[in-house]
Structures are given as structure tokens and as C-alpha cells.
Structure 1
């Protein structure tokens, strides 16, 4: 009896790479495939959420952009050793397909698949290719794009797939949107470590400047760093604002479903969650993001009419207050933004990505 086909997933480094990789692993296991995760020792630390049925292959890799001059000088040798080890492993147990998710831990397996001419794809979470994905985009059979548009080399074959989201987000997909003309209105402010500090400075004075009648109806959920908590709480208490302030929300999907407006950074994962649920958003890209990729992430949703984008260097409390007031004072317009956001979402991203894996594997068998 023949063994099930093998998918090698090459990923590591951050949750942005590992979460969609994990979603694909779960789907391919459900489809009867074997799955092996190829990563480096750093990436292996982020693999705790992967199913036990996923094999782990830990291979040396390295970054050319960080570390001491000595470590950067030895990186080519480290990466070459990792590629050689991976080539031998793939010759012993040849994958039907290799899926790379970017980051330097994905480099050895993606390079080995290219050398062995194994069907392969890469998934790019952001609107600008990361360094490793930039190398391989012209050399793979398909570039699965998490946001659209994504800037790609001319030789690349790109396809808008979306970013796989958690099951808890899918459970809220297309939740009924409400922006009532009377009664409570909920706002969710989420920024993580790259947004909480800036939002703690900007959101409180913005809410001070919105019309009194609107502010009295607001219920606010905001992520706030511990060092900012007392100051922000004092402002909201002084305004009589109903505010739930926490360092971390473990129920973001439910809060998204209740929200009439989301204020957020423009990370690929955040935008995917917002659009799968379908909520109007004010997006404030992280200004230090590599290659300004958060602005690229936001571009498609803004063009679709589901969000406004404000550059942080252009952001003022007065400007933010104006956007909040304009959206929440126009229930019909806010509902149209919610519908545009939901239309831009890709709740089927995991299934689409799994379908690409099977398609490329089938083409490889036919050759």
C-alpha cells in the first residue's frame, strides 16, 4: 500500500509566518496527507500549536541582516549546510509539494525544493514580499498572496489566496453588522506591541474631541501597555467613558463581531481578521515596518471602501476624531464599509491554499 503524499512546510521566525503555516498543516492532515515542518531551532520554538501528527525537521539556517559581523560572515556556510542536509532528506522521502512561508528558517527547504525541481509554492502574508520570498518568487510554481495587490517580480505567477485565519475568527465570519442610530456603539482599538503605545497617546485626546452626544454612547475596548494604563484610564474616567482597558484581549473575534468600528495597525493578520468578520476600520500602519509593508497591506481594503488609512506621521487627535465621528454618525455609510470589508475578506483562504498544494502536486505527478 502506497504512503500518503508528503507536504513539506517551510516556515519559522514569527507568528506571522507560523500561524498560516499551521492552518495549512491542519487542513492537509484532514485531507489525508503527511505533513513535515521544516524550520530552524528558533522557528521550532513557535511550533507548539502544530498538531502532533506533523513531523518536525530542524535544520540550520541564519540571517544575513542581523547579528555580529562574524555571525553574518559565517551565515552562507550555515545556510549551505542546511540546504545540503535538506536535499538529502528530500531524496530519501520526496515531497509531493513544498510550501514556503517566508523568513530565513524557510530558506533551506525552499532552496532544496528548487534544486530538486519539486512542485513548490510560497505564501506571502504582506503586500510587499519579504526578503526570502523575494528571492524565490520567480523560482516557484505559484506565489499565494495574503493581501491584494502584492508587488511581485514580472516572472512570478501570483494568486490572491488570503491569509488563513483561526477557527475562532471563522466562527464570527460575516457576523451581522450594527451601527445603531441610538443606543450603545462599540469601538475596538487593537494594536499589539507595535500600536498600543501610539494609540495610548492619540486615541484618548481624539475621543475628547468627538461630539458629546456620540461619546456618551461609546463602549470602548482598547489594548493598553501596563505603563500607560493609569494615565489612559484617568482620561476615560474623566470623560465618563465606558472603557475596557487590557494589555491583551484573548477574545478578539468576539469583540470584532460586536464592534461598529475598529482602529488598528495594518498587520496582515489583523486585516485578515477584520475582513473575515467584516468591520469598518481606521488603519494606522506601523511606520517602521520593513519596506512600509503595512501601508501596502492596507491599500486593497482602502480601495475597496472598507477602511480609511492614516499615516502615523500625519495623524492628529483632531484628524482621528473627525474620522471616528464621520463613520459613526453615518450608520448607512458605516454599513456599506462593513459590507465592503467583508467582501474583501477571504474566509476560504486555508482551503484555497490547500487546493493549490494539491493542484501543483498533481501537475508534478503528470510531468
Structure 2
């Protein structure tokens, strides 16, 4: 009896390996699975690394709430000592809050009374004091930073910058450096290998620092100075109200700045010739910043004159620059930067006792860039100062050339460029 042939059973389907949850496939015409409602349609092919990075950035920016809404950018500033360090930080903080109103700032510096505590209070920005003793300063800075939780620390120089940066390293907070001078400060050289970025005011320091970290943007200038739209006549009226309306034509205004603390050497040189100069030049006015320490002595020695303003400190420096035709100044980094941004012919008297003699370097760079006149402290006396002042005022073409070269060399957008990099660092 023949055996009955049975048909072979159909082959079993090969098992399909389940897709990972993030690659779950669905038809766009159907309702997506519950876990994928509202999700974008995703590819089954793993993306390339470049595409993955781009998608990650896109999803963070578009599919989630804005980082600035959920977690505003928080930036700490460490500065102190010289006005250049402090006002560079103030300029950056002002630019940050103009660009990102929801951002938060904290200033770290020497306890009050100090230049940085006063400047932060008048801005106004929150201020946290750190002591001058290095071990205690690092500990206090770390406590302040831990409480504030900054995305990034910006160090603009001065004694508080070093302990603040060391504290940031301990806490894993990235920090950047903004160095204003023609020669890098010792702290900048020490911290440069550890900094995320180094922003420089001049090209010269690049050769002494890690080049890949350096960006030369110029020095940040306070918004009130670089965006000042006050006329010379209006500015003069605020300093010399008793004179009434002063026309701009033919009027010469000399602005004398001795730096944040003032300059005894400049004060003495001017003291011995100011009255004679005003008597001989009846169209000349002087705005004279003596510095807080030298004011009382100068006030007791200077004879009152209707075309002379004597003041310990200029709180409205923007108006002083607007009124001035020629500036006599120390060669601090911020003073040089302000001269460039405002386009003022200048006579620079560098202070030789500064660290690395950086003011002398600044002064001769300014001489090359815009033709600024330089008087060394050894050469400074009443006769030499009067001679150069009259030389500059007496040559309209020289003044015009100096002004044009200064404006051409200026970098008024330094604050904007630096803050753009700080924002990208803080949110990535």
C-alpha cells in the first residue's frame, strides 16, 4: 500500500529583531504610538556624527524650551586694583545685559572700600568681597561661585582674578581671560594654559601665550563712552555752567587725566604753568582730574579760574571726552582704548613703575598707531608739557590726522565680540 504524501509545512517566518525604541517605525498616515505622539518622523539609518551633532543642536534649540528662558546665563566677573581692569569688566557686564536682559552677573573683588566695590555698586551689580590673602581668597571665591552657580567666569585682571580663577578650576567652572595691556600680566601667563579663551587688547602678547586660545578684539569700552552723542557745546555747559552758552568754534578744551588714583607728577607739572597758559590763551579751557589723593593739596594751591575745572574724579567721563579737543593722560590700557574710540588727539605720559612697564609699551604702540605724543616721566616738567600742548593745539592738520588714525585703529565692537563668545561658551 503506497504511503500518502503529506505536503511540507510552510516555512516558519524568520524572527525580526526588534528595533530600538527610538527607531520604532510607524506610518505617517496612522496615529503614532502613544510614546511617539508629537515626535518627529525619524530615520531608520543611523546618522553620521556630523548629522548627529547638528540634530542635537537643532533639537535643543527648536524642540525644547529656550535655554535662556529656563536657565538664564550667569556670568561672574573677577577684577580689581586698576581702573582698566574694573571698567573693562563693567563694560562687558553692560554689554551682556544689553544683549541678554535675563542674564545674571556677579562681581568678585577686594572688600570695600575698593574701586571695584564702588564701581559695581554704582552700575549696579551684585558684589561679593574676597580677601587679599590668597588661600582665604580662593576659599571665599569658591563659596561665592558655588552659591551663584555661574556658567562662566570672566577675569579682567587685578589681584582678585587669580584666586577667582583657581576657585573656578576647583568647581569645574570654565573661565576666560580679558587682558588689556600690550604685555600680558603675570597672572595671565600663569593661567593661560588653563583658560578656555584669552581675549586681548593688542596683538603683541599673542607670541607669549597659547595662540590657539587667543583672540585679539581690542579692549571693551563702557557703552556710555563709545555711544556718546553729546555735542561739545552741551558737554562744556555741564562743566562750565557759569559761562553760559559756549560756541564750539575756536574754543580749545584740554582734558587732563592722571589715571584712577591720579598722578602727582602730572599735577605738579600742570600746577606750575596752568595759570599762565590760561592767561595767554583766552579761548582755552582745562578739565583737570587730580585723583582723590591729590585733590585737597591741589585745591589749596590752584588759583580759581572761570575756565578751569578741578575735580578729584570724573563720574561723567563720556561728557569729558565729548568736550575735549586734546587729552593729556597716563598710558593705561583703558585710557588708550578710550582715546582711540573717541578719536581724541593725545599726549601720553606712561607710569614707569607699573608691572613689566606695560604703560610705556602702550604709549609707544599708540605713537605708532595714531601719532600720539609721548613724554617720559624723566622728560616731564612744566616747560615740556606746555610746549607739547601748544604744539598740538597749534597744528590743526596734526590734530585732524591723529583723530582720523585713532578712529581707524579703534575697535568699538570689542565688547560685543567678546560677549558673543562668552554666551556661546556659557550655553554649550
Whether TM exceeds 0.5 here: the answer is yes
- Superimposed CA distance per residue, residues 107-163 of structure 1 (whole angstroms, 9 cap, x where no aligned partner): 344224445665431011333333432311232132212345446624253322333
SS of residue matched to 2:310 = strand
The 5-angstrom pairing of residues 7-156 of structure 1 reads 7-30=75-98, 31=100, 32-39=102-109, 41=111, 45-46=117-118, 47-51=120-124, 60=130, 62-63=132-133, 75-76=134-135, 78-79=136-137, 81-82=139-140, 85=143, 93=149, 95-114=150-169, 118-150=173-205, 153-156=208-211
Change (3 A) 1:226 1:113: closer
- TM-aligned CA deviation for residue 196 of structure 1: 4.2
Segments of 5+ residues of structure 1 without an aligned counterpart are 64-74
The answer to which of 291-300 and 192-201 deviates more is 192-201
**Residue aligning to 1:277:** 342
SS of residue matched to 1:7 = strand
Q: Distance in 2 between matches of 1:204 and 1:148?
A: 37
**Residue aligning to 2:360:** 295
Are 1:188 and 2:255 counterparts?
Answer: yes
**Residue aligning to 1:168:** 224
SS of residue matched to 2:255 = strand
Change (3 A) 1:36 1:321: closer
**Residue aligning to 1:4:** 72
Change (3 A) 1:220 1:12: closer
TM-score when scaled to structure 2? 0.66
TM-score when scaled to structure 1? 0.76
- Equivalent residues of 1:187, 1:260 under 8 A apart: yes
- TM-aligned CA deviation for residue 205 of structure 1: 4.6
Q: Distance in 2 between matches of 1:29 and 1:242?
A: 39
**Residue aligning to 1:222:** 288
**Residue aligning to 2:324:** 259
The answer to which of 292-301 and 225-234 deviates more is 225-234
Change (3 A) 1:313 1:48: same
- TM-aligned CA deviation for residue 331 of structure 1: 0.4
- Equivalent residues of 2:94, 2:223 under 8 A apart: no
The answer to which of 98-107 and 204-213 deviates more is 204-213
Q: Distance in 1 between matches of 2:178 and 2:286?
A: 35
- Equivalent residues of 1:195, 1:265 under 8 A apart: no
Change (3 A) 1:62 1:331: same
Change (3 A) 1:337 1:120: same
SS of residue matched to 1:101 = strand
Q: Distance in 1 between matches of 2:310 and 2:408?
A: 30
SS of residue matched to 2:160 = helix
- TM-aligned CA deviation for residue 87 of structure 1: 8.0
- Superimposed CA distance per residue, residues 30-51 of structure 1 (whole angstroms, 9 cap, x where no aligned partner): 4243434444645773431354
- Equivalent residues of 2:259, 2:332 under 8 A apart: no
Change (3 A) 1:280 1:289: same
Q: Distance in 2 between matches of 1:131 and 1:34?
A: 29
- TM-aligned CA deviation for residue 322 of structure 1: 3.0
Q: Distance in 2 between matches of 1:37 and 1:61?
A: 14
Are 1:247 and 2:315 counterparts?
Answer: no
- TM-aligned CA deviation for residue 211 of structure 1: 12
**Residue aligning to 1:69:** none
SS of residue matched to 2:313 = coil
- Equivalent residues of 2:369, 2:406 under 8 A apart: yes
Segments of 5+ residues of structure 2 without an aligned counterpart are 1-64, 233-246
- Superimposed CA distance per residue, residues 64-96 of structure 1 (whole angstroms, 9 cap, x where no aligned partner): xxxxxxxxxxx44x3553476478668xx4x43
Change (3 A) 1:329 1:148: farther
